Structures are given as C-alpha cells and as structure tokens.
Amino acid sequence: MRVAVTGIGMVTPLGVGVEEVWGSLSRGRSGVRAISNFDASSYPTRIAGEVPDFDPERYMDRKTARHAARYCQLALAAARMAVEDSGLRPESMGPDEVGVVVSSAAGGMEEIEKAHGVLLQRGVTRVSPFMAPMMITDMAAGLIAIEMRAGGPNYAVVSACASGVHALADASEVIRRGDAVAMIAGGAEAGITPLLMAAFCQMSALSRRNDEPERACRPFDTGRDGFVMSEGAVVMVLEEMEHARARGATIWGELLGSGSSADMHHITAPDPEGRGAARAMEAALRHSGLRPDAVDYINAHGTSTSLGDIAETLAIHQVMGEHAGRVMVSSTKSMTGHLLGAAGALEAAVCLLAMRHRLIPPTINLENQDPRCDLDYVPNVARPAEIRVALSNSFGFGGHNACLALGRGEV
C-alpha cells in the first residue's frame, strides 16, 4: 500500500507556513538569532532558533492556548495548517479512519521548569493542576486529535532527535496495515529554556559563536563548534494513495519506506565509523525497493558537531558506494538550527519541497570544508536539480538512528 503526503504545516525559526519557510531555505537565509525567550546573558551560548512572532490564538481558542504547553501550541498550529492544506475533513470521516502520531524529544520542558520554580518559592498548593498534562510528551498528539476530531491510533514516539522521522515512519505503517486511511504526523519542540540550554551548554554541545548567530551553524566546515538549539513544529497529513487520488487531493510526494537502527556505542556520541547510521539508511532503501544509485539527494542530519558530521559522511560512503560522489547532500540545519524532536519532520518536508521546486537547498556557512567530510554538500547557494528520490537522515542521543526514503508520488 502506498502512502502519499497531502498536507504540510510548518512553524519554524524561518517563519510560519510552507511558502515563507521555503523562501528562506531557497535563499540560504538563517533563522538563528540572540535568545529572547529568557535572559541568557550569563550563558556561554546565547543564540538559538526561536519561532518569530508566534501568536497561538491565531490557531486555537484562548482557553486552549492558555492551558497548552508551548510545544503543543506549535504542534496544533502546524497540524491545523497541514489539515487545511490537505483538504481532508477528519470530522466528517469515521472515528477510526484518521489518527495522530506527533512526537517530541523534551515535551513541555518550559512548563516543568516554571512549575518547579513555583513549588520551591510558593509551595505545593500553588502548582497548577494543568502542569501534568502540559508537560507530558504525548499531549500534542492528544490535543490534535481533540481539535481535529481524529479518533484513530494516537501516540507519540520519543527517540531524541530521531523522534520526528520515527513518527512519520510509524504513521505510514499504520496506513499500510490498514488501521487508518490517513494520519496526522510529525514533530514539535520548544526546548529553548533556561535548564535545557544550561544542560547542553555544560555538555559543550552548543555553538558559542554568539557574535555571529547567522554563521554559527556550519555543518561539515572546519570551524564548526557545536549545534544550535531551535524550536518549532512540522506536521504532515499522510494518506493512503488511492484515497487521496479519489478525492482529488494535491500530492506533495510519497513516503516510500523507512529504516531504523541503534548504534550500541555511547549515550551521546555517534559510532565514529557511522555503522549504525549506515544500517538505518540501508534499511530505508531495502524497504523501499531502491538501489543506492536511485537516490538523488540526501538531507543530512548534519548538526555541525565535530564527531557527527564525520560519522554521517562515512555512513553515506558505506551505503552509496561509488554513487557517494554523485549524490547531492545538504544540511538545512545550517539555516534552521536543530529542532530536536521536530527536526526529522522538518527535513522530510524539505525533501518534498525540494522535489516540487526542483531545487536543492544549500548548506550555508560552508567556507572551509573539512577534508574528512568529502561529499558534495551543495555549499552556500541553492542548486537546481531534478530529484526523484531523496533520503532524510535523523540520528539521536542514545544511538537512535532513523532514515526516510521519499519520492515524488508519481503514477
């Protein structure tokens, strides 16, 4: 059974909505700025990718906005845009025909931090009863089901930075096995918070290029010094292909298959040889019935970390063989920063947009390419290209690896 993408909703540091986000990606514009969510003046990293000018009440009523965690607000906004884009009407379908899988790595982190402050300063009786449902990682999926009247399979997948890809992969399998006709799927994250930023700073995982935020994320460059934390949500409507065609839906593309694996190596560092990542990519190709030389473009995990970029390059060499030198690779995190649990959904959507527009978004800030990173990373300027098959890679702490294969959705 084939799975089409019929709707896309995007809330990112590059803006809100497909057109605005794609416009920035195609021009090579960065969404990284100085942090405004909280006072970060004492932090070694004071930059991040925040969603600009986001008003939740444009997408939900005031009561829902007041009681929803920020990551849920972002997810609901993206889901509403995706459903509207698809033309699907879940409320007019059977209760089991449309489900939701929307994931997050950290969930309601901001709400946890605020509630803990209230507990310490004002006591147990002042902690909000809404705190528990606001913090849990599956609440975005639950709220989307309530708002969209989607009563099918409903859950979240938590696999760190691979969560978004795993959500899309799981949702596509729900459709393939016949448990739903359509799924609302993706990822959401709102992790630019005092505690989470402090934790990543203490790990020395984040870029400290505070004076040049737009140049901070530089995958595959010798000057890279860590990733850039970002927030946002990207949600898609996945639909059984024949159902989509029968109702005349616009088809963005197709989820051909997916693969996942574990590094079995370290809680944060990737397998230095990229073996786990390679096995996930190989599984995605195998499940899609594709040979490596069918791949035109890879949206890399490409976080701008010293170890990760090299490991992913080695993994691509292992999987692609002689084709590695011909396949185009780019890291759009160079512009968006790293949306953690939403990153995989964003980058899968970017693959579909690249196919639609016949344009590879660049890896910006690639000025001095690391000789150990020796692939074609489409440096600095978008490149016109015909793309029939793309891979989207996501690799997370804990050694979680995930890869999606995407196609145009042609007959």
Q: Which residues are catalytic?
A: 161, 301, 338
| Helix (H) or strand (E) run with residue 384 in it | strand 383-384
SS3 174: helix
Question: CA 258: distance to chain centroid?
Answer: 15
Alpha-carbon gap, residue 130 to 18, rounded angstroms:
32
The type of residue at 144 is: I
Query: Left (φ > 0), alpha (ψ -120 to 50) or beta: where does 44 sit?
Result: alpha
Interatomic CA distance for residues 214 and 29, integer angstroms? 8
Which residues lie across from 329 on neighbouring strands? 298
Query: What are the tokens at 133?
Result: 């449902």
Rounding to the nearest 10 degrees, give the CA dihedral for residues 377, 382, 384, 390. Answer: 50
Could you tell me how many helices (H) and strands (E) the chain has, helices first?
13, 15
Residue 172 and residue 211 in contact, taking contact as beta carbons nearer than 8 Å: no
How far apart are the C-alpha atoms of 14 and 17, rounded to whole Å? 9
237: alpha, beta or left? (left if phi > 0; alpha if psi -120 to 50): beta
CB count within 10 Å of CB 319 equals 24
Cα distance between residue 150 and residue 99, in whole Å = 5
